[in-house]
């Protein structure tokens, strides 16, 4: 089965726990409807998301995210076809802290600009191995 995978980053606008709950609820509902699975790493200073599924649905989800005023500076870092899903068990696995990636100072200093697509993929694969099915 051919799967399309995209990894994007954005800067949160007006981040708080209520906004995050809304994003997760909407994402999980839309992803189930559209056959998308994935993972979200989020903090007050960054959203980093992995989406996978049918290409048209993943591209439509990215377009919705780019129009969403809760996200600024949306950048797609990975967009490719892969043989299988990495997060097939999760409508949207959520890592609420992801402090093992970068500090807020590193993000502010542009760490994301120097991160390769392979490193971004590695962050999510590490998350997948530590994922708890209750986070679905």
CATH at 85: 3.30.70.100
Cα separation, 56 vs 103, in Å, equals 34
The string of pLDDT tens digits covering residues 52-89 is 999 999 999 999 989 988 788 899 999 999 999 998 87
Cα separation, 24 vs 107, in Å, equals 22
Question: What domain range includes position 119?
Answer: 3-135
Total structural domains within the chain: 1
* Residues 10 and 107: beta-carbon distance below 8 Å: no
CA distances from 68 to 21, 63, 74, 92, 99 (A): 15, 9, 10, 18, 25
The string of pLDDT tens digits covering residues 28-54 is 888 889 999 988 887 778 888 899 999
């Amino acid at each position: 089965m051919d799967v399309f995978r995209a990894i994007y980053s954005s800067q949160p606008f007006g981040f708080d726990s209520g906004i995050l709950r809304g994003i997760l609820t909407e994402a999980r509902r839309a992803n189930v409807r559209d056959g998308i699975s994935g993972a979200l790493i989020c903090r007050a200073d960054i959203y980093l998301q992995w989406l996978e599924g049918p290409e048209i649905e993943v591209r439509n989800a990215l377009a919705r995210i780019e129009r969403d005023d809760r996200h600024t500076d949306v950048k797609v870092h990975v967009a490719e076809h892969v043989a299988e899903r990495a997060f097939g068990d999760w409508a949207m696995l959520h890592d609420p802290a992801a402090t093992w990636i970068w500090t807020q100072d590193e993000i502010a200093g542009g760490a994301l600009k120097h991160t390769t697509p392979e490193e971004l993929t590695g962050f999510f694969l590490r998350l997948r191995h530590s994922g708890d099915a209750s986070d679905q």
